[in-house]
Amino acid sequence: MEQSAQSTPPVRDERAGHTRQVGQPFSALIRTASQEVHTEAERSSFMHALMGGRLGIEAYTALTGQLWFVYQAMEAVTPRLVTDPVAGPFIRPELFRSQALERDLAHLEGEGWRERLHALPATRRYAERIAEVAENWPGGYLAHHYTRYLGDLSGGQVIRGLAERNWGLAPKGDGVRFYVFPDIHNPAAFKREYRALLDAVPVDEVGRRRIVEECRLAFRLNIAMFEDLARRFPLSA
């Protein structure tokens, strides 16, 4: 009989730099191994102040604009990756966010928003990294796909509710459409399917460790973007 995950003793994987269960599903490994830096990103001073209502809608609009550059990088490469055995199964049009971000920015910034929008230095580095791995390493692209889209389906819903409450944005309407997935009718089932795809990804153990490290890098790139935004929108003393 196959031993259950609960009864399998943890082992130290020195190369990956974390403790894992023998036979642990990749979806569980990637979540636990990146949890610390994920939490750090969520608790960044900018996001904490923004979601606590201590920054205005201008800061929320600026975040939305920076995310547009990130998702442009994520989605511009999808035609090339859709047939890739590693990244391809995760390319799902119902996840795409660029058009929703554009509707939000048209509402928040008004006409001509593209001409006024500029990527912050950390955002440029983030987008460049996404483009780099998409070109050279589909497993690395998968790491960014996981940190972005699965996060949007989870914690992003908390952000949407806070934005609606803090700035009077219409529920699931213009200004928060980025966080709305109208073509995903059962988010919980979708996330289960996504994790099953992660568990089946055709990558060896070394490749999986590399993907985990890229997930950590993705969160650090997020943190750097938040730090740039914090400098642009400092809290009053």
Give 101's pLDDT tier (boundaries 50, 70, 90). very high
pLDDT of residue 9: 36
Euclidean distance between CA atoms 69 and 120, whole angstroms: 10
- Indicate whether 11 belongs to any domain: no
Three-state DSSP at 20 gives strand
In-domain check, residue 16: no
Average pLDDT over all residues of the chain: 90
Q: How confident is the model at residue 34 (pLDDT cuts 50, 70, 90)?
A: confident
- What is the per-residue pLDDT across 171-189, written as a single tens digit (0 to 9) for each? 999 999 999 999 999 999 9
Q: Is residue 180 part of a domain?
A: yes
Residue 163 in this model has a pLDDT that exceeds 80: yes
The phi, psi pair for 193, rounded to 5°, reads -65, -40
Q: Does the pLDDT at position 13 exceed 60?
A: no
Q: Residue ranges for the binding site for heme b?
A: 31, 38, 146, 195
Token pair for 109? 């910034």
User: pLDDT (tens digit, 9 = 90+) per residue, 210-237?
Assistant: 999 999 999 999 999 999 999 999 986 4
How far is the C-alpha of 178 from the C-alpha of 101, rounded, in Å? 5
pLDDT given at position 18: 42
Which pLDDT score, from 0 to 100, does residue 236 have?
65
Spatial neighbors of 24 by CB under 8 A, at least 6 apart, are: 5, 8
Is residue 7 domain-resident?
A: no
> Could you tell me how many residues make up the chain?
237
What pLDDT shows up at residue 66? Answer: 98
Query: How many domains does the chain divide into?
Result: 1
Annotated binding site: 31, 38, 146, 195
Q: For residue 28, give its domain range.
A: 24-232
Question: Tokens in use for 218?
Answer: 């993705």
- 117 in a structural domain: yes
- Is 10 a member of any domain? no
CA dihedral sign of residues 103, 113, 76, 190: negative
Indicate whether 9 belongs to any domain.
no
Domain at 135, CATH number? 1.20.910.10
Instruction: Tell me if 5 is assigned to some domain.
Output: no
- Among candidates 75, 66, 74, 65, which has minimal Cα distance to 106? 65
